[in-house]
Amino acid sequence: MNLLIQLSYFAAAVLFIVGLKRMSSPVTARGGIVWAGAGMVVATLITFFWPGMQNYVWMTLALLIGGGLAWYTGKKVAMTDMPQMIAIYNGMGGGAAAAIAAVELLRGEFHAASFQVLAVIGGLIGSVAFSGSMVAFAKLQGLMKRSLLFPKQQLLNLLVFGGALVFALVLMGADHPGGFTILLFFVLALVFGVLMTLPIGGADMPVVISLYNALTGLAVAFEGFVLGNAAMIIAGTVVGSAGTLLTQLMAKAMNRSLSNVLFSGFGSVAGSSDEADPEGSMKEVDAADAAVMMAYADKVIIVPGYGMAVAQAQHKVWEFAQLLESRDVSVKFAIHPVAGRMPGHMNVLLAEAGVPYDKIYDLDEINNEFAQADVALVIGANDVVNPVARSNPDSPIYGMPILDVDRAKNVIVVKRGKGKGFSGVENALFFLDNTRMLYGDGQEVAGQLIAEVKQL
């Protein structure tokens, strides 16, 4: 039986790795999720045959309740709410790892002192990932203000984290850890996760979600060692390493260090009052004129952002793009790595609308083409197209790689109002001579553009 268990865990690990590899490409991502899901099914079912396993009724009940809720929410969640769903599910993984650590510490039956150390480390990381992800969920869901800053905040964070480390060291060296000590350790770890996430602005949420994903994976891997569970070790290691790489890529895409994301409070408040106002003025255009500009263009590049997700306009936008293509207009989609509220947010939305993968280009692939584009259509994007990132060293987003939308011959920006982006920085693109503002809900505006082109 032990051989069957180990072979099953090995098969599950292979399925996890193959699934993650296939998720690296939009073309095979759907299949990758199926492969990884099959691996999780194998790992879960074979656990019922683990020697000495008991409480089958509770295990089955937990699987039915958890699986049922996940299935229901996964089917019902709107695409605009996908970032917060990812945040809360990711947090649950960290919470589960922390719960395993708590149970093992209360039992106090470790085969080696190193396992006790790993249990404490996994409990600390998992707790931070859990509570931090819950705060990220609350912010994205609109249940909490985007940030909370107060005097000596970093000092308080340091004191709480220091307290958690002290109790962690106590637990690592105790023969039979006391319940009260364990409780204080987890309380401080959970509080630190909350305090660490509170000051982080919404503009940094893609990086934060990636970071907590990495922490959850590491916590699961550590607890896998404690339990002697190969599937948990491999799955946690794969998720942790992938999340770490993704976090680095997200931070690089914003030209910011991870420490700057976590401790600067960027994106939490509006831009500074002494920040220079962009020269020029916003010039409005109506849907009819915008439709004419694009219908008779040779090349149009569409840049989606979070505003498109909020308006759920992706289907109308793709319908409009197809209409332009029927008039022999070349249409491409340009995606910034941190557009939206989670990594790959725009790719998911466009895939849902049926946009072919070969029409979707990353920043590095498309930037050189904006100068040849007759029109760049920006729908709900803001900070990722702000040219001050190239030109103004005093701007908080200076140095951040952006989509070179301003270099197109004409720019049309679909926006609900005249407000600033999530980072609180005024967008100089809106004031350029070649830019026209088309105000309105993204889905309604796309519908108007479709109607106007059909009349030409």
List residues with catalytic annotation: 383
Give the span between the Cα atoms of 302 and 300, in whole angstroms: 6
For 177, residues 6+ apart whose C-beta sits below 8 A from its C-beta are 105, 106, 108, 170, 171
Structure tokens at 242: 């992938």
Give the span between the Cα atoms of 260 and 157, in whole angstroms: 15
Kindly give the interhelix angle for 29-47 and 2-23, rounded to the nearest 10 degrees. Answer: 160
Give the span between the Cα atoms of 341 and 22, in whole angstroms: 23
DSSP state of 448: H
DSSP state of 377: E
C-alpha distances in angstroms, 9 versus 14, 41, 48, 51? 9, 11, 13, 14
For 441, residues 6+ apart whose C-beta sits below 8 A from its C-beta are 311, 313, 416
Assign 411 to helix, strand or coil.
strand
Give the span between the Cα atoms of 407 and 2, in whole angstroms: 64
H/E element holding 147?
Answer: none
Assign 170 to helix, strand or coil.
helix
Identity of residue 128: V
Q: Among residues 182, 192, 136, 190, which one has the least CA distance to residue 161?
A: 192
H/E element holding 165?
Answer: helix 153-173
C-alpha distances in angstroms, 26 versus 32, 40, 338, 347, 349? 10, 21, 16, 8, 12
Residue 337 · residue 249 · CB < 8 Å: yes
Identity of residue 287: A
Give the span between the Cα atoms of 76 and 82, in whole angstroms: 10
Give the span between the Cα atoms of 302 and 405, in whole angstroms: 10
Residue 246 · residue 212 · CB < 8 Å: no
Give the span between the Cα atoms of 102 and 373, in whole angstroms: 58
Assign 201 to helix, strand or coil.
coil
Structure tokens at 33: 């999720």
Q: Are strands 435-439 and 360-362 parallel, antiparallel or unpaired?
A: unpaired
